[in-house]
Amino acid sequence: MSTSEPLLELRDLEKVYANGREKVHALRGIDLAIHRGEFVAIIGPSGSGKTTCMEILGCLSRPSSGSYRFAGRSVAEMDSEGLSKLRGEEIGFVFQTFNLLPRMTAVENVELPLCYRGVGRAERRRRALSMLERVNLAKRAGHRPAEMSGGERQRVAIARALVNAPSLILADEPTGNLDSATGEQIMALMHTLHGEGNTLVLVTHDPGVAAQAERRVMIRDGRIASDSGLVRARREAWSEQRPLEQPA
């Protein structure tokens, strides 16, 4: 395991949702460090806190307590301008519920993050179309979300998350609504992005998808129940301390 500073670091993170009198303790003390270039799958039962955790990692929601450091900087201390810059330039977020704008076509949806960054119209269109090609949707560029299938919408959402070439990609069930062939295409794209040096964190219910990640973190009842990265780090530390046993 790398000894350098983590890209993402959560410490004793808690999140309580308070709707009226009802309180939901969604995260109950999460400690997690993710380094640059890692490919991590977050798994766990429905309602265990995966999306809540991703929303905090993506700076879309704030924790109730605990700390979150992004590249060594405390997110809690950033102002709203700093936060939008971080979200807009460094993080690509694929939502569990797509979040596409219904009145805009596929290519216009994909262009949105580039509009926020002030990229010129022609360049925007060029980049958005090339991203749609990467997810095999060039022929749907002029369609609105209501005129596309669930899997196609999911791919538009992925193209939009990636169009800014973010170094951190957070994807909540990116293959959840796709048939297996399309799911495999999306995973192939994820592997390419990982190969290019990007950091990937994805939530999945699919054991086949989770198995493709380098590291699996299981969340249960708002806590980390297991982390293959920690198991490996401990095993490495252990084998450094003790020479391998010689066969008798």
Ligand X SMILES: Nc1ncnc2c1ncn2[C@@H]1O[C@H](COP(=O)(O)OP(=O)(O)OP(=O)(O)O)[C@@H](O)[C@H]1O
Contacts with Mg ion by CB under 5 A lie at 51, 96
Q: Is the dihedral of CA 60, 155, 212, 203 positive or negative?
A: positive
Nearer residue to ligand X within complex by CB, 44 or 92:
44
Q: Which one of residues 7, 43, 48, 194 is an interface residue with ligand X (CB under 6 A)? A: 48
Closest CA to 159 of 113, 210, 198: 113
Could you say which of 3, 46, 241, 246 contacts ligand X (CB under 6 A)? 46
| Closer of 3 and 46 to ligand X (Cβ) | 46
Closer to ligand X by CB, 18 or 146: give it: 18
Q: Choose the contact partner of 92 out of ligand X, Mg ion, none; CB within 5 to 8 A by kind.
A: none
DSSP codes, 24-60: EEEEEEEEEEE-TT-EEEEE--TTSSHHHHHHHHTTS
What is the closest distance, in whole angstroms, from the C-beta atom of residue 46 to ligand X in the complex? 3
What is the Cα–Cα distance from 58 to 89, expressed in whole angstroms?
A: 12
C-alpha angle 72-43-162 in degrees, rounded to nearest 5: 60
Site for ligand X in 14-43 (CB under 6 A): 17, 19, 24, 26
The mark string for 50-89 relative to ligand X (x by CB under 6 A, - otherwise) is xxx-------------------------------------
Cα–Cα distance measured from residue 57 to residue 46, given in angstroms and rounded to the nearest whole number: 19
Q: In the complex, what is the shortest distance from the CB of residue 51 to ligand X, in angstroms, rounded to a whole number?
A: 3
* Helix then strand then coil, % of the chain, to nearest 5: 40, 25, 35
Contact partner, 24, from ligand X, Mg ion, none, Cβ < 5-8 Å per class? ligand X
Is 49 an interacting residue with respect to ligand X (CB under 6 A)?
Answer: yes
Q: Give the SS3 label for residue 64.
A: coil
* Matching residue, tokens 């949806």: 109
- What residues line the site for ligand X (CB under 6 A)? 17, 19, 24, 26, 44, 46-52, 96
